[in-house]
Structure 1
């Protein structure tokens, strides 16, 4: 995990250039990353996601791929949002822009994501069983359906961030 400010402030995950993926812990062993015998590895499938996010099957569940930019990403549980650092002078500047960015964002349409519980965010090139050796972040989510939406916001001339927000839906739990 990368920290740009004081320890404990916000933990950021970075990739080596490919997309980040949030895989449910229950199916983490099934994510092969760039490894694998198939013609298209899990990493290849993640790279095919067109846009800011997408869903991919993993085992009997679904992973959330954060596409578009290989930007440093954190999760802010108070906003239920992955924040992607596209441009800002400092972490404080970027995080200070989040509330206004959330309020003014032009959101994409919602996509439903059924989550069995906590997920692990990491570089999609890594195999799931090896995330303990990779830059990764465990995100605690309650089991159930979520509406996922995204937006790219430029709250200032030198500040640009991408948001991927998860909102719990009422309905049957997975």
Structure 2
């Protein structure tokens, strides 16, 4: 079974704790006069950033729209800006991990599964319209989230986002994860 890819209409993607997804309002009908939650996600200037969603914190995958999937075997969110059709995400990440220069980490506490989807939509629309989404089941804990922009000449332009359990100095991830789309 191949990877599930999430795309964007042009704005950032967001990962929200599952129990708080219903609180996400996306872009309101009168957008751009009122930017709503989508505007808050767009305000993230870096590759990653945290914003509040109700009583929880969500991770925004900012900077630019990119086709995105999760590689649980590496604990990496793989964002493809442009790539050769033959690029194999898992093999590419395995090859690149030892040499990547990561940006400083931000700390994010994960207490339950998180849902990745396009931040422009309110969550009921994501469910009702069966929009693309990805459910990540990560072990609860504090995570150091790091991002890196990677250019592979003549092959790919990528943004990689690594989820490491805090204090994991060796660069390993702790994820007995399940990744896949959910239609419930």
User: Is contact 1:97-1:155 (8 Å) kept?
Assistant: no
Deviation, 1:158, is 2.7
- Match in the other structure for 1:151: 148
Quote the Cα distance in structure 2 between the aligned partners of 1:36 and 1:113. 31
Q: Which residue in 1 is equivalent to 2:125?
A: 130
How far off its partner does 1:157 sit?
2.5
Q: How does 1:2-151 map to 2 (within 5 A)?
A: 8-35=1-28, 39-90=34-85, 92-132=87-127, 133-151=130-148
The alpha-carbon deviation at position 10 of structure 1 amounts to 0.8
Q: Structure 1's 25 and 40: CA in aligned 2 closer, same or farther, altered over 3 A?
A: same
CA contact (8 A) 1:23 1:63 kept: yes
Q: In the TM superposition, what is the alpha-carbon distance from 1:39 to its structure 2 partner?
A: 4.5
Gapped regions of structure 2 (runs ≥ 5) = 168-184
1:62-114 deviation per Cα after TM superposition (whole angstroms, max 9, x unaligned):
01000012000000111111000112111544443211222211101111001
**C-alpha distance in 1 between matches for 2:111 and 2:29:** 25
CA contact (8 A) 2:25 2:121 kept: yes
* Structure 1 Cα separation of the partners of residues 82 and 91 of structure 2: 13
Distance 1:155 1:103, change over 3 A: farther
Q: What is the total number of aligned residue pairs between the two structures?
A: 163
Q: CA RMSD in A?
A: 1.9
TM-score, scaled relative to structure 2: 0.82
